[in-house]
A = this chain, B = another copy of it.
């Protein structure tokens, strides 16, 4: 999620300490007041820097929030070191990640107070972190195909459907909780992801 689709192909440089401190301040402000009520001045004040300093990093509050969501979501992704060795392990990794993202205070806050920002990334265009998630999914699909536990098919194509399934489960889970409690949610998402990736039984 976050930032323009066009910038996604150009990886952002690593954040400096000041940039991280600005995002930390923005995070605290958003959790306390929501995105709509958080201004550049609020963030600069909490960070203890001048507004002009902040503008050297991001042009407006929207860009700060975008970078914040990207930082938080990317941090929630699984480490690249642990390659799943079976479809069961792969599905468990994906469900665990989706569950972590679903419970992230920033995501909960966005759902509750700033749904129009979240919905932009469901209805309008992908953001940077969705591109990162898609690339990570494609990498896991390709790894599973090499190991023989994922069916053949263009990894970017399979990853696109995995992204659609998983992000819907993450953002819309509360809407179906009368039928899917938290434990069912994890079980059924796992069934959906492994059922989709399983090599053809015929």
Contacts and interface: CB of A to CB of B under 8 A. Distances in A.
Smallest CB-CB A-B distances: 10 pairs: A119-B119, A168-B168, A195-B195, A160-B179, A160-B176, A161-B188, A195-B196, A115-B123, A164-B168, A192-B196
B161 A164 contact: no
A175 to B, nearest CB: 5
Interface in A160-202: 160-161, 163-165, 167-169, 171-173, 175-176, 179-180, 184, 188-189, 191-192, 194-198, 201
A25 interface: no
B157 A188 contact: yes
Interface SS majority for chain A: helix
Given A115-B120, A161-B188, A167 B172 contact: yes
Contacts of A126: 175-176
Given A195-B198, A196-B195, A165 B163 contact: no
Contacts of A154: 179
A159 B179 contact: yes
Contacts of A167: 168, 172
A130 B168 CA distance: 14
A168 B12 CA distance: 28
A129 B144 CA distance: 38
Given A198-B201, A201-B198, A163 B192 contact: no
A116 interface: yes
B158 A188 contact: yes
A36 interface: no
A124 B118 CA distance: 12
Nearest to A158: B188
Contact of A192 (B125, B184, B192): B192
Contacts of A158: 188
A102 to B, nearest CB: 12
A111 interface: yes
